[in-house]
């Protein structure tokens, strides 16, 4: 049987060994300088947005204070609006953060508007909805082990609505059967809760099912939210190709037309390319005043 004093000696020795190991560990940690990484959501941008989807990129800046690289094991992300999930996902094995370095990790997310609208009926096209991005970064730090770094960022995102377009009237400056130079007086409507800065149009016009080609915008215009504006667009076409529509134009009668194409606009959320179309419209072709001739007023002119 061991002497009591021997047991006390052994106990005291083991305690000293534990203290020594703990001291050594603390000194190593202090010397090497292991610490928790830090992170921040530095930016959320929308590189592409249209009527169907929005591509979102979340920039997360991660700083590693440690003398060795640390692996970024997983990234969990969630985008919600008013507490309701819009999209979530997981990015495994997201890379490595360099020693004593920093790196911006980009998290690509795609929001499909049909999925959102089918789930949340109160989210209407043309509206701006608030969102909250939640990101959990899981890193593996020597000595400290696995650490989860939670991040949050709020903002707003639009649900774009298709612009409306009408040919208010067609006014010609030079008329001949071979070539007519005219001006399309277009009315553009914006049912979105944000302004549209019109930069360019890309479209084709049909008069009585006969294409008269496209036109280019001469100057930019601003369409205020839930408002409309008028723009004049020059166009050149051959009336003799229009068939029976030509005689309706000469007589000043209403002429059926259709339009289809796209407009390029600037918005507070970035550039957008939005489709425009009009089927079964009716407009008039009027001649400008020449040689003292009085111009007829359109019946439907505002």
The string of pLDDT tens digits covering residues 69-117 is: 888 889 999 999 999 999 999 999 888 888 888 889 999 999 999 988 8
Domains 38-158 and 164-287 share a fold: yes
The string of pLDDT tens digits covering residues 8-55 is: 565 566 666 566 556 554 554 454 556 788 999 999 999 999 899 999
Burial of 93 (0-12, 13-18, 19+ CB in 10 A): exposed
| Domain boundaries of the chain, sorted by first residue | 38-158, 164-287
Whether residue 127 has pLDDT greater than 90: yes
Supply the pLDDT for residue 143.
Answer: 76
For the segment 142-150, the average pLDDT, to the nearest whole number, is 85
State which CATH number among 3.30.565.10, 2.60.40.1820, 3.40.50.720, 1.20.120.80 fits the domain covering 164-287: 2.60.40.1820
State which CATH number among 2.60.40.1820, 2.40.50.140, 1.20.1250.30, 1.25.40.10 fits the domain covering 38-158: 2.60.40.1820
Tokens of 269: 């959320």
Single pTM value for the model: 0.71
Tokens of 84: 């309701």
The string of pLDDT tens digits covering residues 204-217 is: 888 777 777 776 77
């Amino acid at each position: 049987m061991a002497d009591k004093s021997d047991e006390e000696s052994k106990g005291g020795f083991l305690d000293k060994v534990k203290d020594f190991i703990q001291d050594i560990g603390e000194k190593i940690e202090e010397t090497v300088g292991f610490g928790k990484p830090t992170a921040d959501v530095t930016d959320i941008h929308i590189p592409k947005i249209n009527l169907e989807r929005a591509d979102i990129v979340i920039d997360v800046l991660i700083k590693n204070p440690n003398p060795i690289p640390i692996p970024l094991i997983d990234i969990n992300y969630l985008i919600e609006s008013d507490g309701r999930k819009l999209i979530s996902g997981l990015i495994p094995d997201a890379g490595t953060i360099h020693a004593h370095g920093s790196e911006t990790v980009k998290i690509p997310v795609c929001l499909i508007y049909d999925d959102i609208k089918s789930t949340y009926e109160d989210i209407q096209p043309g509206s701006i909805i608030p969102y909250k991005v939640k990101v959990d970064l899981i890193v593996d730090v020597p000595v400290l082990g696995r650490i989860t770094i939670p991040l949050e960022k709020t903002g707003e995102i639009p649900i774009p609505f298709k612009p409306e377009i009408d040919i208010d009237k067609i006014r010609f400056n030079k008329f001949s059967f071979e070539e007519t130079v005219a001006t399309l007086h277009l009315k553009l409507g914006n049912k979105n809760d944000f302004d549209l800065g019109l930069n360019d149009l890309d479209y084709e016009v049909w008069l009585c099912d006969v294409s008269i080609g496209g036109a280019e915008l001469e100057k930019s215009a601003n369409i205020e939210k839930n408002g409309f504006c008028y723009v004049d667009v020059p166009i050149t076409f051959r009336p003799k190709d229009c068939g029976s529509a030509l005689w309706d134009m000469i007589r000043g009668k209403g002429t059926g037309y259709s339009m289809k194409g796209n407009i390029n606009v600037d918005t507070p959320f970035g550039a957008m390319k939005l489709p425009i179309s009009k089927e079964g419209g009716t407009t008039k072709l009027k001649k400008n005043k020449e040689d003292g001739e009085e111009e007829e007023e359109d019946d439907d002119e505002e």
